[in-house]
Amino acid sequence: MDCLKELCGILCINKPEGFTSFDVIAKLRGILKMRRLGHTGTLDPMATGVLPVLVGKAAKACDILPDHDKIYEAGFHLGVTTDTQDVTGTILSQKTAEFVTEETLRSTLCRFTGNIMQIPPMYSAVSVNGKRLYDLARQGIEVEREARPITVYSLELLSYDSNENSGTFRIACSKGTYIRTLINDIGEALSCGGIMTSLVRTKACGFTLDDCTTFEELQKKADSDGINESILFPLEKLFSELPVICLYGAQERMYRNGVKLDINRIKYTEGSDRYCIYGNDKFLGTAYIDKEKGELRSEKNFFD
């Protein structure tokens, strides 16, 4: 068996502009010569930045990631709206934004922080009645969408040119937040409209741009030394915020065999429902505690 198929861990890619998240996976399959890859969240083609890719057995972690929060730096321009809510779309309206000062803009931002409701844009992968919104949008069809709860932890104005009505935001937010919609809604609140002109994801799943590699760097390594796990972050880094339970001897063997363990016989820190499980100092997977039955139950295992 090709040793590359045994790779397991997290590969952080600095996604280039023009690539979808699925394009990144396709490109990596060619470089790594393996198919079992998964990404941790979509990025629009115009966006760049942090895209953690799950390699090998790590791909099983897609649906149990504990940290979905992200940080972005987004360019914006006021006085314009488009059908895609960004600079790539067709212009729908143009209004003066000369009255928007930096002070006016800053005073508006507080309305868009905390727990808020957001209506997904038509150009998005959200499904309504079994159909992707972007497919309907391309047919000129607009449907009613339900607002969804999101959290904007912080919304910082990094720069603003009142002559050009353009600037940059830094946004820390929860999973499911559409940055271009956030900018569109800020523009609506200012009565002039607004579009996103650029987007860089600077942090995702606990990883930053400093953790990322590029396609070119990866291909160079593949052509010279070959690809090995030295380029990957260990899978357990995704779950570093979870408390740890260590199993030894008979308890580890029982756990590996699917036996639910008595929590009264396990050392663990209370206050959490989910835990990282280690056996003989090796990451085994994640588990949760069923307090009603007094059992430790496996959630997802990553051992052979």
Positions marked active-site: 44
Q: Of the candidates 130, 154, 132, 142, which has an alpha carbon nearest to the alpha carbon of residue 69? A: 154
Strand extents, DSSP E, 143-213? 148-161, 166-173, 194-204, 207-208
Kindly tell me the burial class for residue 266, based on how many C-beta atoms sit within 10 Å of its own C-beta (0-12, 13-18, 19 or more): middle
> How far apart (Å, rounded) are the C-alpha atoms in residues 158 and 156?
6
Residue 247 has φ and ψ, to the nearest 5°, of -115, 145
Place of tokens 């919304």: 155
The amino acid sitting at 268 is Y
Task: Return d(Cα 144, Cα 122) in angstroms, integer.
Answer: 9
State whether residue 22 is helix, strand or coil.
helix
User: H helices of 213-288, where?
Assistant: 215-224, 249-256
- Specify the 3-state DSSP secondary structure of 131: strand
Q: Coil, helix or strand for 263?
A: helix
Output the DSSP codes for 140-162. T-------EEEEEEEEEEEEEET
